[in-house]
Amino acid sequence: MEKFKDDDWMLCPEEIPEGLFEYIRNVVLAEDHVLIYKRGNRKGFCYDCKEEVYAKPWSGKFYQNVNVRCPNCGGLVHCVLETSENFLVENVENVVMAQKGTDGETVFFRQWRVLRDPSGEWKELKKWLKETVRYAIRGTYCAKWQKESKENYYFACERYDLKTWTKWKGTAVYDNAYYFCPYGIEDVLKGTRMEYANILEHLGRKENPIKYLMNFAMYPVMEFLDKAGYSLLVKQKNDGLEKETRYAIRWKRKKLKECFKFPLHWLKWKEPEKYTMRDIKRMNVFYEIRPQATQKEVEQVVNTHISVDDMKILLRYMNMDKLGKYLEKQEEIRGKKDLWDSFYKTSRMYRDYIEECQTLELDLNDKQVLFPKNLKQAHERTMAQIKFEKNKADQEKFQKAVEKMERYTWEWKGLLIRPARTQEELKAEGEALHHCVGGYCKRIAEQETMVFFIRKTEELDKPYYTLELQNKLVQQCRTEHNKSYGTEPEVFEFVDQWLKQVVNKGGKKKEDNAA
């Protein structure tokens, strides 16, 4: 079949698909539990009871994005200020429905935005629908046209109309949150590659059905993964894969056994639905290292939490059995009992120690060197020795790396993030927060990773959180005693916004940074 042309959007019928209005009324509008309130926070309009309401004296005021009971009908509603940039002020939700093209081969997924009717009645529903996107699948080809585009900045979103349907370069699903109307979907897909997709099952899981069907059409192995029960692998593919796991599976192969880079029987040690793309990546790496691995080793790899990067270093010197036992012993010494902690955090420390031994040209064939009795103390010694043996060339490389990292310096909501600027700073940070970042000098100098300090603006000299960044992804962000930033909502939000507003845009310009 031919690839899509720029004007193939015209193959999409213009009439509204049968059943769409019914679905919107019975499902989309029925679940629209919103209260739009005015400035002053006391007067509003409830879309549950379709009445103007006033906050009761004893119930206080209405507040943005807070769920309350409607003072009139008692329904649980979501409060939105009418003058805010919130999507719900002018819109209800996006809704998608499939429709066969006029050529009989192309399947279109038409996306409308249901606009908000101030009266809450939506008597002429067509008047309140705005079609914004058309996705298309024909054979193994996918395309997307948009009639509307948008720009996000800070917490606002600006939407603007395009002159005509415009073919987009990619096929990423626009406004990922949407309702999918299932009426007639099986008839629309009949006779196409998607006929055998488990679309109704995926709709029940509330996953991304458009992306699922696109992947199902483009990659034959999706059908076999889906039917064999590898639901998490399918979901992660639909959600979008990280750079590290993008090619962990051979997506274009036509048989299940050919899509994996290791023997299929290696997968028997865990239920299919529990496998993640990181598991598959880890097993790929292990297969490269030990293609003739025993069943016991394979089972250990399948169920371990050791990262791929750590495995590449550590398994050069020992097998999985010895590695697992050594890590468990070190956790007993440290007094840790958490299994995930044992096979992730300690393995990262062990990897750092091994790399330090390599840098110092220590004999890793010596068991006393390879398996120190106290890993933490040995790690601290090698870090100190590397600091002592630093040379001018390493310092220059480190400073050049830091200069590149300065463009990611950013301040927001009382927090500041900046790069680690000297080796001494790294050591002090590690000592203050009791983690191993002091041993990252060499890796920063070689630009293998980036390390940043998060500080409270009123305590700029006091260590707060340390963040490691690789390929624009947070590898770890920890405070004292390796406590993760996920337990601090303010820090988590700060890092999330930093990734969106600074890192993903390539950092700030020099003049902005200077300002």
Q: What is the pLDDT of residues 352-382, one digit of tens each?
A: 999 998 988 888 988 888 999 999 889 988 8
**Side-chain-side CA neighbours of residue 248 (13 Å):** 24
Locus of tokens 């939700």: 93
Nearest Cα to 70, choosing from 90, 56, 88? 56
- pTM, entire model: 0.68
Q: How many CA atoms lie within 13 A of 360 on its CB side?
A: 22
Sign of CA pseudo-dihedral 95, 101, 102, 104: negative
> What are the pLDDT digits (tens) for 98-148?
999 999 999 999 999 999 999 999 999 999 999 999 999 999 999 999 999
Q: How many angstroms separate the CA atoms of 365 and 232, rounded? A: 41
Render pLDDT for 387-413 as a digit per residue (tens, 0 to 9): 766 666 777 888 999 999 999 999 999
pLDDT in tens, 473-500: 999 999 987 788 988 999 999 999 999 9
Residue 431 phi/psi, 5° resolution? -70, -40
Per-domain residue ranges of the chain = 8-181, 317-388, 392-514
Q: Is the pLDDT of residue 315 over 80?
A: yes
Phi, psi of 143, deg, nearest 5? -150, 165
User: What's the pLDDT at 104?
Assistant: 92
Specify the pLDDT at position 224.
92
Kindly state the average pLDDT of the residues 421-443: 83
Write b or e for each residue in 285-313: b if 16 or more Cβ atoms lie within 10 A of its Cβ, otherwise e. bbbeeeeebeeebbbbbbebebbbbbbeb
